[in-house]
A and B are shown apart, each in its own frame.
Chain A
Amino acid sequence: MRLRVLFVLLLILPLLAMGEAKPLGNDPAVEARLKALSQELRCLVCQNQTLADSAAPLAEDLRQEIREKIAEGMSDKEITDYLVARYGNFVRYRPPVESQTLLLWVGPSLLLIAGFTGLWLTLRRRNSLLPDDIEKGEDA
């Protein structure tokens, strides 16, 4: 009997210590914004990781910095600008459209247009060839 009481007590004991798991940050809304924002930003130490993923000490510092800026009421754009002013456009995964980045943005479309133009010219030339020419080879 005594053993049984002890057993039940042992079962109850952990319940007393139970509480809600402590969140990593204090404010879930701040943490959500931090997460969204830091996924758009590059860690400068491990350059292929986002600020959200990186375990580098600098990334931790910058996340803390962003947390504070959010608490101060700065907008996402202001925070991004703050980081760009210090680390350059390299911190953004989406570079802005500027004179310097224009080729980056329109380059793929230009290549696509060039490809289609080339294709169209070739097809048109081929269409105008007589069946005879094709048998002999188009360059003959």
Chain B
Amino acid sequence: MRPYLKYLLPLAIFMVLVGFFVVGLKLDPRVVPSPLINKPAPAFRLPQMGEASKSFSPEDMRGKVWLLNVWASWCTACREEHPLLMDMSRQVDIPLVGMDYKDTDAEASAVLQQAGNPYRMVAVDRDGRVGIDYGVYGVPETYVIDKQGIIRYKQIGPITEEILNEKIMPLLKGLQ
């Protein structure tokens, strides 16, 4: 073994380790990749908020590219995301469907009255059953669903302006 190699080899190994740590630090352990990406959106039929006689099912959205946003009145991160959803609902013509997750109608509609309602309609998942089918574990979560009813993207946690402009909008344009 050449003498300089003896010193360079540990340094090289160290650099590789540092590389792993740097990448590891940038990963968010709370974001668990969903196995539902590129799979059909699970079917459900839930009552609509405020209109007890109406129901909503993903089937109703066949042929449209749409967003399913899982939220709740008790979820503070949803409030953070709310203004962005409001802007989006005004600016682009993409159906945004809300799913009120483990919540009460009274509290949820109070939030929408106070902060504005960005949703075309809101499905009510009172006991979180549909949430389990969608692998929801931390609201807010947002699903991009294509014309064939396939889930194309899942956002875990609030949508930020960056994510909206760099990921969701280009994806929506591509799907339409």
The interface of chain A, by Cβ under 8 A from chain B, is 44-45, 47, 57-58, 61-62, 65, 84-90, 139
Of B46-54, B130-138, B158-166, which stretch is located at the interface?
Answer: B130-138
Interface string of B112-143 (1 = CB under 8 A from A): 00000000000000011000111101100000
Provide the residues of chain B in CB contact with A84, threshold 8 Å: 35
Provide the residues of chain B in CB contact with A89, threshold 8 Å: 35
Of B25-33, B60-68, B81-89, B90-98, which stretch is located at the interface?
Answer: B25-33
Q: Do A47 and B30 touch (CB < 8 A)? A: yes
Whether, in the assembled complex, B111 has its beta carbon less than 8 Å from a beta carbon of chain A, the answer is no
Q: Do A58 and B137 touch (CB < 8 A)? A: yes
Q: Do B32 and A86 touch (CB < 8 A)? A: no
Q: Do A139 and B3 touch (CB < 8 A)? A: yes
Provide the residues of chain A in CB contact with B133, threshold 8 Å: 86
Whether, in the assembled complex, B34 has its beta carbon less than 8 Å from a beta carbon of chain A, the answer is yes
- Return the contact of B137 from the options A65, A85, A87, A139 (Cβ within 8 A): A87
Nearest-CB distance from B28 to chain A (Å)? 11
Q: Do A45 and B137 touch (CB < 8 A)? A: yes
The count of A-to-B residue pairs whose CB atoms sit within 8 angstroms is 40
- Return the contact of A86 from the options B29, B127, B128, B134 (Cβ within 8 A): B134
Number of B residues whose C-beta is below 8 Å from A? 19
Q: Do A86 and B30 touch (CB < 8 A)? A: no
The interface of chain B, by Cβ under 8 A from chain A, is 1, 3, 6, 29-30, 32-36, 102, 127-128, 132-135, 137-138
Given A45-B138, A47-B29, A58-B137, A86:B35 Cβ within 8 A: yes
Nearest-CB distance from B36 to chain A (Å)? 7
- Return the contact of A57 from the options B29, B32, B102, B135 (Cβ within 8 A): B102
Nearest-CB distance from B35 to chain A (Å)? 4
Given A44-B138, A45-B137, A88:B34 Cβ within 8 A: yes
Nearest-CB distance from A97 to chain B (Å)? 18
A135 and B30 CA atoms in complex are apart in Å by 56
A-B contact pairs, 30 of them (CB 8 A): A44-B137, A44-B138, A45-B137, A45-B138, A57-B102, A57-B128, A58-B128, A58-B137, A61-B127, A61-B128, A62-B132, A65-B132, A84-B35, A85-B35, A86-B35, A86-B132, A86-B133, A86-B134, A86-B135, A87-B32, A87-B34, A87-B135, A87-B137, A88-B33, A88-B34, A88-B35, A88-B135, A90-B32, A90-B33, A139-B6
The winner among A45, A57, A86 for most chain B CB atoms within 10 A is A86
Q: Do A86 and B102 touch (CB < 8 A)? A: no
Provide the residues of chain A in CB contact with B1, threshold 8 Å: 139
A86 and B133 CA atoms in complex are apart in Å by 6
Q: Do A44 and B102 touch (CB < 8 A)? A: no
Q: Do B32 and A44 touch (CB < 8 A)? A: yes
Provide the residues of chain A in CB contact with B34, threshold 8 Å: 87-88
